[in-house]
A and B are shown apart, each in its own frame.
Chain A
Amino acid sequence: MDRKRCMKVLLSILAATVLMVGAVLPVFAVDIRDIIKVPPGFKFGTYTRKPWSGTTINVAMVAEPRSDAIAKVANEFERLTGIKVNFHVLAYPTLQEKQMVTLTQGTGAYDVVHVDCVWVGQYAGEGWTIPVEELILRTDHNTLALDDFIPAVVSEQGMWEDRIFGLPCIQAVFGLHYRTDIFRKYNVKVPQTWDELRDTARSLNLKEPGVYGITFMGRRGVQLQCTYDNMIWSFGGEWFDENYRPTVNSREAVEALEYFKSLVPYAPPGVLTYDWDENANAFAQGRAAMTIQWQNAAPTFYNPEKSRIIGNHAFTLVPGVRQPDGSIKRTPTFGGWSLQIPKDSRNKEAAWEFIVWASSPELDPRLAYSQPGSRFSGLEDSAMQRKYIEYKGMLEGLPIAKGRPRIAPYSELADALEVALSEAMTGSKSASRALREANSKFEFILKRWGFLK
């Protein structure tokens, strides 16, 4: 009897232990402390020791000027750490395909991947990349300078569900580029609201021979949608509500689209075929007094080979909607990339060392000639602001910028919206009808992906 009791107690203790370990173990199983191996006392970013000397890491990056600029100075990184870097600088669609294939197959082909902010939900959410807090704790504060990044940028590009997955690298935000000479000549103030923007476009339209009021990216595609996002959000619309119920046919969304369409008469005749290049060229060739475009078009405008408006243009915040309290609600569309470490990488520590180096404040000003960084220190620097016209506008725009949905079906939703925008802008359907159709397509997509019951 006694023995039996004893057994019972023992068994229950055993069961409880097993249960407890079982409940806690999964938490530890995914913990990064099991995956990374850092020598005791080592700090990333100090470059005092070279524990991974001789390793080669493979870094995938999108084909943009800043990626090339980083690749150009990578020999310095090799000197500091002994880590050799293989760059795979790929065009956007190729990068998307290749990263997706290698990450889903778990081949470990890349040690660092370049993640567009709209992919974060896919990469971090599906567990393709690893959270980096443990690595951050072991990194030298001055080299990392996490608080020097614009917070909105880190959360939009590098974070998913309250965890950090990567550091920003390559930055973009929408704004208004305008011609300072024309504005001065006709004594026009920089428009602050959408209505003022249209009035300005109307009043400046063809005042100068061949110079239209405004130009924008009107071709069916992601740029048209990003331009419209500036408007729909500030008008108070959203793609869907917090329960993923699509709301792209709301009154606000329709109003925003009708407003957008009302700009067409003051734009060059071909504006609805313009993509990034055509639009930047049109403005650089002096064919419009204003353009709503990413800040990253500015280098085209001060490039003497491509521009006729050097010294006569500026970059500022996108207009917004005046609120009842007198303030103006502006929602510049946000874009950018982060560097992240795939789960299947075999050199995670070396990869982190690279990410820290590539986004360090020391390197930032030296890469500025290619594309702006994401740090306060760089964007606030008055010498840099003088040299790079877009910096001031970026500094104002980035903290209030709004990101597009980052859920996995983003590109499919975006495409449905782009079709509707294009149909309404070209006048083949009314704004409300086009958006109503987009809304039902949204519902179809969100249901298929399981976001909507």
Chain B
Amino acid sequence: MRRSRAFQTFKRKYVWVFFVAPAVVVLLGIVIFPLIFSLSLSLHEWNIIRAGGWNWTGLDNYAMILFMDPYFRTALKVTFLYLAGTVPVQFALGLAVALILYRITRKIIGFLRTSLVFPSIMTPIVVGIIWRLMYNPDMGMLNYFLKLLGLPPVNWTGSPLSALPSVMMADIWEWTPFMALILLAGLQALPKEPYEAAIVDGASAGQVLRYITLPLLSPVMIVAILIRLMDSFKTFDLIFVLTGGGPGMSTEILNYYTYRYGFKFFHMGYASALSWLLVVTVTVIALILIKTMRSRGIYAAGG
């Protein structure tokens, strides 16, 4: 009897282990372990091509990246330009689209919503190839339309000035709907009372937007921006298909640069150090955003 009761207590006390364990194991296996592995790798020199395994080099990889590698700074600059050129535009357009869609209450909304997500659910490589065809300077659709309007053709991905904006344009096309959908969901979840109060007080539409909708929506906005920001940092497929980092280094963002070091030149330690720098940068930016969110007294769902 006593033993069985002890077993019962044990079961009640520790049964959670069985529920939590699978998740913990999976997390350990696919997140924590690779993180630690790559951190340790980043402190070694290891080139797959060469015989001989890992050679301890301490912080050499990081020092080399930060102080010797002439292209790292270029890649970093391109990355930040890319972020600055895509996320804010996606946000502004996404917000506008969300506000418009919010007004539409007729049945067509279902159709609109579905067609809106198409760019975001397409395989990124397909998006890249479609845009590559459109950007083709001789046979592409975009230059055809420019010609119809009597404008000179643009060498979209071929010239160092227009290559990065061209990639940004494809990115904006692909991810604005995602932004719009999140913001639309946020709008639809807003409480009705403040709006009713505003109507009673005789607020104009502009005032309602400025003083009620936007402040109430800001937690969702920050989350949406955060997700896109982290995603943009990791952009790879568009660059890979559209420009391959060229012309020169004009579209070589950090993630692509890291890929080349890892899988083209096989400097695994160096590539790991590069990815760790990427992780640190993204984390710092995310922390700053979350902090401003908290300090303004904005609550985020689950945060």
Contact = CB atoms under 8 A, between A and B. Distances in A.
B155 A282 contact: no
Interface residues of B, number: 32
A127 B246 CA distance: 35
A433 to B, nearest CB: 11
A412 B249 CA distance: 15
Contacts of B265: 409, 411-412, 415
Contact of B247 (A269, A425, A437): A425
Given A126-B51, A411-B265, A220 B155 contact: no
Nearest to A413: B265
A444 interface: yes
A322 interface: no
B50 A423 contact: no
A270 B158 contact: yes
A273 B137 contact: yes
A278 B140 CA distance: 12
Contacts, number: 94
Given A411-B265, A426-B158, A219 B136 contact: no
B155 A126 contact: no
Residue of A271, A419, A441 most packed against chain B (CB within 10 A): A419
B70 A440 contact: yes
A313 interface: no
A292 to B, nearest CB: 18
A219 B70 contact: no
A97 B136 contact: no
A129 interface: no
A422 B49 CA distance: 27
Interface residues of A, number: 40
A287 B139 CA distance: 12
Nearest to B248: A423
Given A269-B153, A411-B264, A428 B160 contact: yes
Interface of A: 97, 100-101, 104, 122, 126-127, 218-221, 268-273, 278, 282, 287, 408-409, 411-412, 415, 418-420, 422-423, 425-429, 434, 437, 440-441, 444
30 contacts: A100-B48, A100-B49, A122-B49, A127-B51, A219-B158, A219-B246, A219-B247, A220-B247, A268-B137, A269-B155, A270-B137, A270-B158, A272-B155, A272-B247, A273-B136, A278-B136, A408-B49, A411-B264, A415-B260, A415-B264, A418-B246, A419-B249, A422-B246, A426-B158, A426-B159, A426-B160, A428-B248, A428-B250, A440-B70, A441-B71
Given A220-B247, A415-B260, A441-B71, 16 more contacts: A97-B263, A101-B48, A218-B158, A268-B138, A269-B138, A269-B153, A270-B138, A271-B158, A272-B159, A273-B135, A273-B156, A408-B50, A422-B247, A425-B247, A437-B70, A440-B70
Interface of B: 48-51, 68-71, 135-138, 153, 155-160, 243-250, 260, 263-266
7 nearest A-B residue pairs (beta carbon): A220-B246, A270-B137, A423-B248, A273-B158, A428-B160, A426-B247, A272-B158
